[in-house]
Structure 1
Amino acid sequence: MRALIVDDELHAREELESLLLETGAFSIAGRCGNAVEAIQAIRKQRPDVVFLDIQMPAISGFELLSMLDDDELPAVVFVTAHDAFALRAFEERALDYLLKPVSRERLAKTVERLRKLPGAEARPGYPRAEIRRIPCLAARAIKLVDVPEVEFVRSSEAGVYVVTAKAELFTELTLKVLEERAGLVRCHKQFLVNADQVDEISIDEGLAVIRTRSGKDVPVSRRHLPAVKARLDL
C-alpha cells in the first residue's frame, strides 16, 4: 500500500515512516508538514492511505478532509496524541485512528483493517465541514483568507485564484469544493462569486456582468444567470 504521512512535526513523520516500513505493508508516497502540502500530494500521488495528524497549526486534519473532492479521498487513518481527538475521529467514520506514540502492536491491527477493506469500502464518506478560511499561497507562507473577504474565485490553466479587494492569491482548492463548502455562487464555468460582495449586476440580452464592492468585474454566463439572480433575490 502506498502511504502518505501528514504531520507538522518532523520527528513524528520520521518515526511513523520507520514503523510503516518495518511492517513491510507500505511504501511511502510522501511526507507532508501541513495541509496545503498534503492537498498537493494527495492530488499528485494518489496514495492508497493517508496517516493524518489531527492537530496541526492553521488547518487541522479534519478541516483538510473538507478541502478535498470526494474522488480524491484515499483511506484515512487519523493520528493523534489526544484521546478526545481520537473520539471525534471515530465519529468522523475514520477507517482507524492511532494514538501517539504509535506502538507496533496497534499499528499491526491497523494494517489488518486496511487489508480487509479494499477498494471503495476503505474510503468511507467523511462528513464535510463548512470552509470558513481558504488556504492560499503567499510567497513562502500560507495565508488563510476568511470567506467573507473573498470577492470572487477564478480558474485558469495556471490554477485557481482567490480574489479579494486587495489581493489575488493561488489556492489548491477546486472551484467545486469552494462552491459546495464555502457558500460561493457559481456564476460562470470558471468563476465563483461571493453574493455579499456584489455591488451591482448589469444584464444585456441575457449576458450579465457583476461588479464587486471594490469595482472588479466578474462575468456571468447565460447558464448560471438564473441561479445568480435567485441568490441575489432579483
Structure 2
Amino acid sequence: MRVLIVDDEPLARARLAALLGECEGVAVTGSVADGEAALAAIGELQPDLLLLDINMPGLDGAALAARLAGPGRPQVIFCTAYENHALTAFELGAVDYLLKPVRPERLREALQRARQRLAAAPAEPVGYLRGRLRGEQVRIALTEVVCLLAEEKYVVVHHAGGELLVEESLRQLEEAYPTQLVRLHRNCLVPAPRLLGLKTLADGRVLARLAGTGFSPEVSRRNLPALRKLLRTG
C-alpha cells in the first residue's frame, strides 16, 4: 500500500514515516507540508492512502479531503492533535481519525481498515488511447496522459513520455470516457485527476493548473462553471 504523508510539522512527518517503516506491506511514497503540495504529489505519485493533518496553512486537511472525494481517489486517515474535527472527518469518508502522538497499534488498526476499504472498492477500468508514433501503432493509458489538444486533423496526446497522434476527435474521446476526461475549452481535454485548480489572471482569463506539468491551458467561460463544481465536489 502506497502512503503519502501530509503534515506541516517536520517532526510529525518524520515520526509517521518511522512508524510506517515498522508496518508490513506499506511504502512511503512521499512526504509534503501542505495541501497544495499534496495535490501535486497525488497526481504524480498515485498513492493509495494519505496520512493527513487537518490544521495546515493554505489548503487545510478537511478541504483537501473534500476535494479528493470520489472513486479512484486515495483513502484518508486523519492524524491530528485536535479531537473536535472527528465528525467532519467521518462525514468526509475518512478511514480513521488518529490523535497525535499516534500510537503504533492504532496506526496498524487504521492501516488494516484502509486495506479492507481498498480491496472492496470497485476498480475503475483503465482506458487506453491508440494512435501513431513515427509510423507505428502504439497505445497510452489515460493515467499517463497530461492533456489532449486538437490540432488540424488530429488530436495530440501529451503524456509523460512525449506526444502521440490519435485520429479520434475530442468529442469522440469525451463521449468514450465521460467520467475520466473533462473539457477545458473546445480544443482541450484533460484527465480529471490531473486538474489541481484554477488561476485567474489580471486580464480575466482563467488557466488550469495540472498535476505533473507546468503547462497551464486556458479555460473557456462556457466550461468554467463545470470545472469549479468538479473542484468543489471531487
TM-score of the superposition, structure 2-length normalised?
Answer: 0.54
Q: Secondary structure at the match of 1:51?
A: strand
Please state if 1:89 is matched with 2:89.
yes
Q: Counterparts in 2 of 1:4-153, with a 5 A limit? A: 4-68=4-68, 70-121=70-121
Change (3 A) 1:171 1:185: closer
Q: Counterparts in 2 of 1:190-205, with a 5 A limit? A: 191-192=223-224
Following TM superposition, by how much is the alpha carbon of 1:54 offset from its aligned partner in structure 2, in angstroms?
A: 1.0
Percent identity over the alignment? 37
Cα distance between partner residues in 1 of 2:66 and 2:103: 29
Unpaired segments ≥5 residues, structure 1? 124-152, 175-183, 195-234
Aligned residues of 1:162 and 1:170 also touching (Cα < 8 A): yes
Larger Rg: 1
Q: Which amino acid aligns with 1:26?
A: V
Cα distance between partner residues in 2 of 1:69 and 1:96: 15
TM-score of the superposition, structure 1-length normalised?
Answer: 0.54
Following TM superposition, by how much is the alpha carbon of 1:165 offset from its aligned partner in structure 2, in angstroms?
A: 3.1
Please state if 1:162 is matched with 2:194.
no
Off by >4 Å, runs of 4+ in structure 1: 153-161, 166-171
Aligned residues of 2:35 and 2:59 also touching (Cα < 8 A): yes
Aligned residues of 2:75 and 2:95 also touching (Cα < 8 A): yes
Q: Which amino acid aligns with 1:65?
A: A
Aligned residues of 1:95 and 1:122 also touching (Cα < 8 A): no
Following TM superposition, by how much is the alpha carbon of 1:193 offset from its aligned partner in structure 2, in angstroms?
A: 6.7
Cα distance between partner residues in 1 of 2:90 and 2:68: 19
Unpaired segments ≥5 residues, structure 2? 124-183, 212-218, 227-234
When the two structures are aligned, how many residues end up with a matched partner? 153
Following TM superposition, by how much is the alpha carbon of 1:69 offset from its aligned partner in structure 2, in angstroms?
A: 7.2
Cα distance between partner residues in 2 of 1:55 and 1:93: 18
Following TM superposition, by how much is the alpha carbon of 1:31 offset from its aligned partner in structure 2, in angstroms?
A: 0.7
Greater length-normalized contact order (CA 8 Å, ≥ 6 residues apart): 2
Cα distance between partner residues in 2 of 1:103 and 1:157: 44
